[in-house]
A and B are shown apart, each in its own frame.
Chain A
Amino acid sequence: MIETKTLPTQYVSRPGALSTSSGKTLRTDEMIINMGPQHPSTHGVLRLEIVVDGEIIVDVIPHIGYLHRCFEKHAEHMTNYQQVIPYCDRLDYCAAINEEHSYVLAVERLLKIEVPERVEYIRVIMAELQRIASHLIAVGTFGIDAGAFTPFLYAFHDRELILDLFEMTCGARLLYNYFWIGGLSHDIPPQFIEKTKAFCKYFPARIKEFNDLLTYNEIFVKRTANVGVLPKDVALNYACSGPMLRGSGVNWDLRRDDPYSVYHKLEWEPQLGKGEMGTVGDVWDRHIVRMREMEVSVRIIEQALSALPEGNVQAAIPKRIRPDAGEIYARTETPRGELGFYVVSDGSGTPFRVKGRAPAFVNLSALPAISRGAMIADLVLIAGSVDIVLGQVDR
């Protein structure tokens, strides 16, 4: 059994311990540095209070809430369940489809309705396209954190192609309101399949190019290997999920281990960090997991496209959404990890309580544990590798 009670202390602060060659001691002192909320490398409005001793981080205290939009309060005050979906989009604006997926899944399970198979396949295709788009932002901006600007442009060029596919389907490029409870807002347009297939053919070569540019770049590897190591037991105790957990070598993916939609009918494997460049669970491992997951997503999309059945995508949409009194916790694997919605119904037409278990919020809470003892220059990389979206952290 894994011992998860005690966290490793990577650095013990000892003010005054630094001694000079003459035998006298230099007095060192701890200093507090403020980073954010308006800082280009915090990926949004995150404020970190950093306690440093020289260049070594003694402690990091994150202050969040600058982007709090009262999502849960809004959800309780809508006139029906359907109206919450656009607010879910705005939780994680980089991966809106995945947020919708989790919420509609929770409500569908409360209502005990089955959705047509075509809907499930289209949902998987969209969710995986969105995963690629989101990972492209993650690795692109992560490159900027490390001082590499060019890969960012490559990433955003390819992300644009995916956004075009979404625009073609539902008219929106960022916040879609595409998944409805029991179905979809539109069926896919006729050219969609052909264009998505073309994208799947084009994209793997670009991943290779991106890897050559950034992932295996010697400077990048030296900056990221052995930095911000998150051990397995700490990751589990902090309930980290997604690439953060898999980067630490835990073979866990909700798409396989708590199946939803049609993932169990497709062939694919979760990608794990193996410590190829340094220690298992370092910043480089989290990066490579994201790169490999994009390849996996392409394979899932290809399989789902070829198996796509016919049907009416709006056949199962209920006329009136009024679940019986009860509660449900449904979770899906989003690009950032486990997004769960705890939805409580009191039998009326509006949710009594909606709690969003945001993966970025939970993953960020492990940041102090993995930053202690690191150099202050590496903090930007460590925070970047957690891949937070502040819209989701602050809700």
Chain B
Amino acid sequence: MTAEEILNTLKARFGDAVVESKLDVPQPWISLNPARMKEVAEVLHDDPSTQFDTLMCLSGIDYNNGKLGVVYHLFSMVHRHKIVLKAICTKEEPHVQSVTSVWATANWHEREAFDMYGIVFDEHPDLRRILMPYDWEGHPLRKDYKVPEYYNGMKVPY
């Protein structure tokens, strides 16, 4: 399926869950309502015409305008087609629905996005920090992150 067909399918099925889309770029993307990611993912995964069985990559991103995003790169081994999904939320309410129940690989990727950007994945089975120590404060990859002067009472030379 082409990106346009996938977009039309999603629009027909979910209507207002589709927020924005851009198809005239090398890797077309569709932006979706972050609170409805799971149902969209389930359909994309299960529907015989799309069958996105692989989540290649899941990245967090800070757009530096008060918004955070999660970017999903999907691929279907059966149909050999790709699509990029985006779920964009605000820094004040960084909530995105987890897709771990659809693709198990999302588990660690989502933990990483939580660790680095503070995006909370609702319904995630085990949302802990993954790369940073469990008692770390702040989310290092946010653009407004300041390196802390002290870590557990120790001065961090910088």
Contact = CB atoms under 8 A, between A and B. Distances in A.
Is chain B found bound to chain A in the same assembly?
yes
A7 B104 CA distance: 9
Contacts of B101: 5
The interface centre, meaning the residue of B26, B104, B107, B140 with most chain A CB atoms within 10 A of its CB, is B104
Interface in B102-158: 102-105, 107-109, 116, 129-133, 140-141
Contact of A342 (B25, B26, B71): B71
A342 B132 contact: no
B51 interface: yes
B61 A353 contact: yes
Contact of B77 (A236, A340, A362): A236
A68 B71 CA distance: 22
Interface stretch (B2-10, B11-19, B31-39, B52-60): B52-60
Contacts, number: 87
A237 B131 contact: no
A70 B57 contact: no
B84 interface: yes
B57 A344 contact: no
Interface stretch (A120-128, A159-167, A327-335): A327-335
A237 B25 contact: no
Contacts of A257: 80
Contact of B56 (A234, A239, A394): A239
B53 A236 contact: yes
B90 interface: no
A393 to B, nearest CB: 9
A67 B87 CA distance: 30
A44 B51 CA distance: 37
Contacts of A2: 53
A387 B55 CA distance: 21
Interface in A39-70: 64-65, 68, 70
A238 B108 CA distance: 10
Contacts of A394: 131
Contacts of B102: 5
A70 B140 contact: yes
Given A355-B57, A394-B131, A395-B131, A329 B73 contact: yes
A299 interface: no
B131 A353 contact: no
Contacts of A329: 27, 56-57, 73, 84
B57 A369 contact: no
Contact of B108 (A234, A355, A361): A361
Interface in A337-359: 338, 340, 342, 344, 353, 355, 357
A1 B45 CA distance: 11
B56 A237 contact: no
Contacts of B48: 1
B35 to A, nearest CB: 22
Contact of A239 (B54, B131, B132): B54
Given A239-B56, A340-B73, 5 more contacts: A5-B101, A64-B130, A73-B141, A328-B26, A329-B73
